[in-house]
Amino acid sequence: MNHTPGLIGFSLRGAWHHCHSGKEVMIGLLQRLAQEQAGFCDACYRQEDNRGRSRIYISKNRYELYQLTPEFAETHSEEFVPGWFVATNLSNPAKDNVIRMAIRVAGLTHNVDVTYRLG
């Protein structure tokens, strides 16, 4: 995470993308990485880091994201590319974990290819 005061967003290979929230940062990065690499979403889904204490972060099934609280599936998930959902009821540290996993899966280097500030 980059701790530049005031700026929320991300830089991917030098191009800055302003965002309004940490949720937008996470979703924006996931969208761009998924568009660049076939198989990216499947690879994220298979990662051990995709499983938190009580939920899965990225899935083809939004109800799999919130197995303990299925009522959250409709209101606290977002389809970031067709057919793939990400949990959005996450703390910034959890969003950070999802982003770091995505960067690693994409074969990029944090603070070199990708920097971000969640807010």
Q: Where residue 3 falls among pLDDT bands split at 50, 70, 90?
A: very low
Q: pTM (2 decimals)? A: 0.92
Contact 55, 66 (CB under 8 A): yes
| Structure confidence at residue 52 (pLDDT) | 86
Contact 34, 40 (CB under 8 A): yes
**Alpha-carbon Rg for the chain in angstroms:** 13
pLDDT digits (tens, 9 = 90+) for 14-61: 999 999 999 999 999 999 999 999 999 999 999 999 998 888 999 999
Task: Specify the 3-state DSSP secondary structure of 22.
Answer: helix
pLDDT of 11 over the 60 cut:
yes
Contact 40, 106 (CB under 8 A): yes
> What is the helix (H) or strand (E) element at residue 73, kind and residue range?
helix 72-75
Mean pLDDT of 73-100: 97
Structural domains of the chain in order of their starting residue, each with its CATH number: 22-107 (1.20.1380.10)
